[in-house]
Amino acid sequence: MNYEVVIGLEIHLELQTISKLFCGCSTAFDREPNTNCCPVCLGLPGSLPVFNKRAIELAVIAALALNSEVQRGSRFDRKNYFYPDLPKAYQVSQYDRPLARGGYLEFEADSGVRRVGLERVHLEEEAGKLQHAGNSIYQAEYSLVDYNRAGIPLLEIVTAPQIHSGREARAFLENLRLTMLYAGVSDCKMEEGSLRCDANISLRPPGSDRFGTKAEVKNMNSFRSVEMALDYEVGRQAKLLDAGSIVVQETCHWDEVNKRTISLRDKEESSDYRYFPEPDLMPLQLNNSFIEKLAEKMPELPRQRLQRLLEQYGLDKEAAVLLTANPGLSNLFEETAGIYGRYKDLANWIQGDLLYQLREQGKEPVEINPNQLAELLKLLDEGVINRPVAKELLSEMVQRGLSPKKLVEDRGLTMISGPQKLVPLVEQVIADNPEAVESYQKGKKKVIGFLLGKVMDLTGGRADPGEINRILKDKLKD
């Protein structure tokens, strides 16, 4: 039977502060275990939390970027549960008065612009990190805890149940990440856990206005696994419903190795967290000027950049979407476009050969000097070098930051062009290869490729093959 798939996502982002939410401990990712801890983040008796102002600012910026309504008054609550990653046995979070309510994210989807609504955006503290001994969480005999992460500011974003497939969930998530990257609130690295996603998913007959029983899926560690896990859950739940069985409300883990979801524990009811107002933190009051100042300094967001790439530079949609999806590349594009006016050519080089070289050599776009890139393309435009040489120079430019102009001068890579230089070379090749010339004249026209290659060799690859081809044909007629 056909079902309507209903998915809501819960996303957690670590905010880009250098110190934790309530204490001065460092948020650095790769420190020795349990060395970024103090009485506050370990929850030792007598310690008191003090807000990190930057964390509040970043949370507000994120909410504004998501069109979510920042609340003038919000409150922090204790969410009580016993799990060894929580040193205090409660997490400071926000329950019924979140930092921001509502909002939406718009993004470019297969079917045009898609808008997914948000329920809320709130601030909370990160938990510590558990390492399970054994092959997986199910086989572990014991766990090891590192509290370095405990207390890092964490933003929770909850979508409305408006997503209808694994593919759509992935597209939403990729665009959310991009928006948060542009807004500068988080580095959004799924592989390092600074961006995480849980999903609630249920099925219902098309047109029904009641939600089916939902399952919560956790442990999806990449955009790809979000899509796969949700597709798997759709199949699993559909099979149950088809068989006249019921879906049990539960929490599942995505098992990346076996590509399936595994039931983990019965879902704790929300009331079991026994939320109550955090007595150690006064309610958060944000005045208009605090919010307006942040709104004024809001960086350009992906949708705006996409629009600008299309209008200001006349790029085609595919190029504009690709550049927007990679902020580093689009920054490089714009910086170079300031000194090099053939925008489409520039975009082609950046998304083609340059991107290839960056990946190949493990470099970031920010390491590329826009002046050198413009220099290279100008040398090509002016006919000083040909395309193969340009590609070679690009590679060295990326690898060692060398000026293309200087490389051309040092190595004598200037293009060999014009009949004056090329005709003698063509004549020499014709003289040296009588057999090839003969078969060409007998009608084996393909042989010209062989002769062309010989001439190219003589120029050290520095001529325009088209020009040689014309001269060759001309000479072979005689």
Helix H or strand E encompassing 4: strand 4-14
Contact status: 17 vs other proteins (CB under 8 A): yes
Contact criterion met (CB below 8 Å) for 19 and 26: yes
The number of CA neighbours under 13 Å toward the Cβ of 395 is: 7
Q: Single out the segment in contact with other proteins by CB under 8 A; choices: 3-11, 59-67, 78-86, 430-438.
A: 78-86
Among 47, 67, 143, 221, binds other proteins (CB under 8 A): 143
The number of CA neighbours under 13 Å toward the Cβ of 7 is: 28
Residue type, 79: K
The number of CA neighbours under 13 Å toward the Cβ of 201 is: 29
Task: Pick one of Zn ion, other proteins, none as the site partner of residue 426 (Cβ within 5 to 8 A by kind).
Answer: none
Contact status: 242 vs other proteins (CB under 8 A): no
Q: Single out the segment in contact with other proteins by CB under 8 A; choices: 34-42, 195-203, 293-301, 470-478.
A: 34-42
Contact status: 114 vs other proteins (CB under 8 A): no
Among 6, 7, 11, 55, binds other proteins (CB under 8 A): 55
Q: Single out the segment in contact with other proteins by CB under 8 A; choices: 31-39, 192-200, 306-314, 372-380.
A: 31-39
CA distance 123 to 12: 10
Distances (CA, A) of 335 to 99, 328, 362, 369, 374: 37, 11, 21, 9, 10
Q: How many residues does the chain have?
A: 478
How many residues of this chain interact with other proteins, rule: CB under 8 A?
A: 56
Contact criterion met (CB below 8 Å) for 137 and 146: no
Contact status: 235 vs other proteins (CB under 8 A): no
Sort 185 into a burial class: Cβ within 10 Å, 0-12 / 13-18 / 19+: buried
Among 67, 69, 117, 145, binds other proteins (CB under 8 A): 145
Contact status: 93 vs other proteins (CB under 8 A): no
Q: Single out the segment in contact with other proteins by CB under 8 A; choices: 101-109, 186-194, 282-290, 359-367.
A: 282-290
Among 113, 142, 443, 446, binds other proteins (CB under 8 A): 142
Contact status: 238 vs other proteins (CB under 8 A): no
CA distance 258 to 156: 29
CA distance 413 to 393: 10
Residues that bind other proteins (CB under 8 A): 17-19, 23-26, 32-39, 42, 50-56, 75, 80-84, 131-132, 137-138, 140-147, 236, 262-266, 272, 274, 277, 279, 281-285
